[in-house]
Structure 1
Amino acid sequence: MKHQWICKHTEGARRVLLFFNGWGQDSRAVARLSCPRDTDVVMFYAYHSEGDFDFSSLAGYPQREVAAWSMGVWYASRLKALQDVQPTRTVALCGTPWPIDDRYGIPCAVFDATLAGLSPRSVEKFVVRMEGGVAAYRQSPLSQPGSRSFEDVRSELEWWHRECFSQGEAPLVLDWQKALVGLSDAIFPPENQLRAWQRAGVQPCSQAQLPHDPFPSFGSWDQVFDF
């Protein structure tokens, strides 16, 4: 797992936001979000990669909060290091703790077909669906070249397939306080998201007519947590 500080103050920050990004992503997805004055933000991504983030370094922040999007919800749900972080707020956006599942996530056959047919062109089509159509895609930072190669993105998707099935019904280590379900989500079926959060005991969910990528509807990191 790699990490990148999206906002980092030299001193005075009393709050840290931990953001778990989705599959194949980099900082473009959240590039338009403004950072609060007293807040640091660290993004986690490329979960198949080696990483050296020291979660104990967060102990000095009085407020520690977690947001996760898409496949990042699964990762954060099972990251044991977050038990020691003891976040004060946790929000999940357009994802579930069971991301490859016929009832609670992306249907297995759909995920398998995506992996089997993956190509640079299919990745672009995936992002178009994620954004809610061609017009929205053209306005999105995700339409611009990213920092990750196709081979890297494919390796991560293969990793997700292995990890999600190998861990099976591993218990969740993070209690989610809020969940946002995009009712126009073309990646995670909304009805599966609603079932998943009922299973996880997060009720009621917030629902909105949003595509899989909710971030164009937010202007700041505060709004991500306060939907």
Structure 2
Amino acid sequence: MKTYIRRREENDHLIVFYGDWGTDENLFTPLCRSDFDSIIFYNYSANEALVLPEKKTYKSVALIGWSLGVWAAEYLFLKTGIAPDVTIAVNGTPVPADEKYGIPHRIFEGTLNNISDRAMNKFYLRMFGDKTTLLKYRDRMPQRSIKSLQDELRWLYNRTMEQTEPGFRWDYVVTSRDNRVYPVKSMTGYWEKRKNTTQIVLPLPHYVFHEWTSFRDFVQFVKSFGPEGKTP
């Protein structure tokens, strides 16, 4: 696992972000601003130990899990010792490899067995939704080897097969109508049974964060929704 940490002594707000498979810090560092501390977890595997900063007291802690990062947040929560005030799931569920509420096993396994440069280019196109957005982020694309992508996805797949839902509290969930990575029907079906989670549906692709200038702006946007949620 990899950890990116940005902190300043005077900051009293923290945002913890769990990224999707196949990403690295390059995609997310522009969303980390100087007025809040940031911890980003990505490139999940058993090869590296969990790295955490020294303990610090904050006025607020927000946790965001994106795609497979929703599962990762639940899996790693107790290990980090970071207690969030608000939790936001984005385009994912706690059961990412699942016939009903996640990505079907045949697709998950097919992706794992066919990772290549060409396949990843197609994946990133689906992630961003269109070529225009993909080209906009060409300088921020993950710099990952094929082996590291294979190792990460294999580790994730094996761990998700072992874990049962631990009952993690998700305050909000953001799902995208134009998602071409995670089945919209699966996400909707899962989150509809979580009555205490406010649902927000956006007309966006799998990667939604290009609509905001920082993680803090995204959190404020999400928190502005009422308990019933709504569709813009």
TM-score, normalised via structure 2 length: 0.86
Displacement after TM superposition at 1:80 (Å): 4.1
Say yes or no: does 1:186 pair with 2:185.
Answer: no
Q: Give the Å deviation of 1:115.
A: 1.2
Ranked by relative contact order (alpha carbons within 8 Å, sequence separation 6 or more), the top structure is 1
Aligned match of 2:166: 171
Match of 1:8 in 2: 7
Counterpart residue number, 2:22:
24
CA distance in 1, matches of 2:152, 2:13: 30
Structure 2 residue runs without a partner (length 5+) = 223-232
Q: Say which of 129, 142, 145 aligns to 1:149.
A: 145
Answer yes or no: is the 8 Å Cα contact 1:21–1:45 preserved in 2.
Answer: yes
Contact 1:46–1:156 (8 Å) recurs in 2: yes
Does residue 215 of structure 2 align to residue 218 of structure 1?
A: no
SS in 2 for 1:171: coil
Which amino acid is 2:204 matched to? L
* CA deviation string 1:69-102 (max 9, x = no partner): 1101001122242684221111111111111112
Q: What residue in structure 1 maps to residue 40 of structure 2?
A: 43
Match 1:70 to one of 67, 71, 75 = 67
Distance (whole Å) between structure 2 residues aligned to residue 67 and residue 156 of structure 1: 20
Counterpart CA distance in 1 for 2:77 and 2:28 is 25
Q: State the 4+ residue runs in structure 1 displaced beyond 6 angstroms.
A: none
For residues 34 and 163 of structure 1, what CA distance do their matches in structure 2 show? 29
Q: C-alpha deviations, 1:20-79, integer Å up to 9, x for none?
A: 111011122224325252x10010111103124247x34422322211111010011222
Count of residues in Structure 1 that have an aligned counterpart in Structure 2: 220
User: Unaligned 5+ residue runs, structure 1?
Assistant: none
% identical aligned pairs: 26
Instruction: State how 1:110-149 maps to structure 2 within 5 Å.
Output: 110-141=107-138, 144=140, 146-149=142-145
> What does residue 157 of structure 2 align with?
161
Deviation at 1:156? Answer: 0.3
Q: 1:82 to 1:90 in 2, by over 3 A?
A: farther
Equivalent-residue separation in structure 2 for 1:178 and 1:36 (angstroms): 25
